[in-house]
Homo-oligomer: A and B are copies of this chain.
């Protein structure tokens, strides 16, 4: 009891640097809160290609299978961009991992802290006091994996097909994730669809309404995806939990992340129901931002997204809620104290410029 085991896939670019800070924080909280976590490191992405010939080597899959959860860094970089799309680090590692483990629920918090609204591209008067959205994206259905998908000649022309296919059961389970999450928050779910055009969206909307009956305490709103893309810019504070299908979620969660203004702060979790019936998920946890090859190796990247990914891992996969809460508060505290990596700094008085390792240290000190 209270012993856990995780796989650590640091990947490329800034991945290893920010991962080192997350692991330091893991040591600190496990000591403080009395649990142990053994770790197995494995190659992924460009590192996988370089060391084992592919973005997702077999032994990496095995390491993940044997773990309670996967802490993932980031993958990709110019070195591997000449490869065909489905062998590239991102595509070649993330999609197979999602599919292999059935990671159907992608949770992306879009938090803009009150102290960091200046970093958002949105005018301050529209986001005063910051905002806090949780985007719940379905991650294993729709156009990403739907069959048939093909291209073929048709006389002088060529035709190409992808298929947006969903089962109602897939919609039900992601809806439950969204409503459960809303219960622990501000109790509002905005379901995003294109019900004026897509057959998928008609079933989606019906299903959201059906599932909402089990959550009478949670408000359900519907919004077309084109309108959601506008409303995120116009008034992000109107959202609590956003729930949507795979491709819409891909687009809207990135738009939301950009509106937060500090990609280096945003974690994400990709979950599936765990083997035991204990409310815990198996999951892969990673920063929302990319591998940032331009600043890799300089020790200046913001490690907070990776550290908050660890906090999500502790919460959703290991059930170490107290440790997760402690990390979240420590992060807020160092931000309130004025600690700023380069991506957050404005030169305002009171700011303390820190590098990657110093930010990690500050968070550990604040624990």
Contacts and interface: CB of A to CB of B under 8 A. Distances in A.
Contacts of A200: 160-162
A165 B161 contact: yes
A164 B151 contact: no
Contacts of A85: 195-196, 202
A226 B250 contact: yes
Nearest to A225: B251
A199 B160 contact: yes
A197 interface: yes
Interface of A: 85-86, 88, 90-91, 95, 120-124, 126, 143-144, 146, 149-151, 154, 157-169, 194-200, 202-203, 225-227, 229-230, 232-234, 247-248, 250-255, 257-259
Contact of A122 (B122, B168, B247): B122
Nearest to A226: B254
A160 B203 CA distance: 7
A151 B199 contact: yes
17 contacts: A91-B196, A95-B197, A121-B126, A121-B233, A122-B122, A143-B197, A149-B199, A158-B203, A159-B168, A161-B200, A162-B198, A226-B250, A226-B253, A229-B252, A229-B258, A230-B255, A234-B258
A159 B163 contact: no
**Interface of chain A: mostly helix, strand, loop or mixed:** helix
Contacts of A162: 163-164, 198-200
Given A85-B196, A229-B252, 16 more contacts: A85-B195, A90-B196, A121-B123, A121-B126, A121-B233, A121-B234, A122-B233, A123-B123, A143-B164, A143-B198, A158-B167, A159-B166, A226-B250, A229-B251, A233-B258, A234-B258
